[in-house]
Amino acid sequence: MGSPTSPHQKPRQPTTSPAPGPTNIPTATTSAKDGAPPQRSEHNQYIPNPLAHFSAIPWAARLLRDPAVSNIVVSERQPLASGDKRLVRETLNGATTVRACVTFVMHLPTTAEEEVAGRPPLSKSKALLRGGGPKDGEDPARPFLLFNALLDLGEDLCGYRGTLHGGAFAVLLDETMCAAADNQSQFAFTASLKVDFKKPVKLPGVVLVRSRVVKKEGRKIYVRGTIENEAGECGIHRV
């Protein structure tokens, strides 16, 4: 796995910019009478109750029940009056694109903490998301948290049939990684990126997108991210 990082920089003018894997990813669906689409919730997601939706999927439910998890949020997908973020709030918000989204944050456990707790490793991508500490500009009062997004993705995000498009990969990662960067800078935008594709992500299905700041250097913020399946296997990582 590669180790270079992608810098994010604070803009001079505030802007808004904040959202895994490959084989046999389960999909939960919401039914409606007479084939009509389900009525959208106040969050304007296609699936009215995203939290219940993901809680019905065993591997996603285990993530949400982890005691290290905090700040579980059903993502707001209502269009903004400013017209910002139309790609993710409108274009990629529907029955055949991003059907449901729930985000949460957690402290990245050390290997020693995992061993003491007797639980399996958080993710096979954990090494990619390591970094931080005083040498990397981390402030103990504002630690580098692990940002996560559970997404239910539809078939219109495919490039080749049944496989997530590479451009969609980048958009989903960028949204989650900017959320991690914003936690350290209030506002951030992507200055450069590198994407490594490891395995295809099969669609339709549920994926987990992870991101974490690994270094701060002046105005630059370096973030790493992954898209994974229920086994913690990476379909892609962006650094």
Selected residue with higher pLDDT from 11 and 101: 101
**Residue 37 domain flag:** no
Amino acid in the structure at residue 111: T
Beta strands 69-74 and 220-228 are unpaired
- pLDDT reported for residue 28: 40
pLDDT at 147 over 90: yes
101 pLDDT tier (thresholds 50, 70, 90): very high
pLDDT greater than 70 at residue 138: yes
Cα dist. 133→11, 68, 91, 136, 173 in Å? Answer: 25, 19, 39, 5, 24
- Residue 53 confidence (pLDDT) above 90: yes
pLDDT of 121 reads 53
With respect to residue 127, please indicate whether it lies within any of the assigned structural domains.
yes
DSSP 128-140: GG---SGGGT-BT
99 in any annotated domain: yes
Tokens of 162: 């049944």
Range of the domain at 50: 6-28+44-238
- Structural domains of the chain, count: 1
Residue 35 lies in a domain: no
- C-alpha dihedral, 8 to 13 to 14 to 15, nearest 10°: -70
Peptide bond into 14 cis (omega under 30): no
Task: Write down the pLDDT at residue 112.
Answer: 63
Q: For residue 51, is it within any domain? A: yes
pLDDT at 209 over 50: yes
In a domain, 34, yes or no: no
The verdict on residue 117 lying in a domain is yes
Q: State pLDDT tens for residues 1-26.
A: 333 345 554 443 333 333 333 333 33
Residues 6+ apart with CB under 8 A from 32: 38, 39
Q: Say which CATH number the domain at 185 has.
A: 3.10.129.10
Retrieve residue 16's tokens.
Answer: 């808004």
pTM exceeds 0.85: no
Residue 1 in any domain: the answer is: no
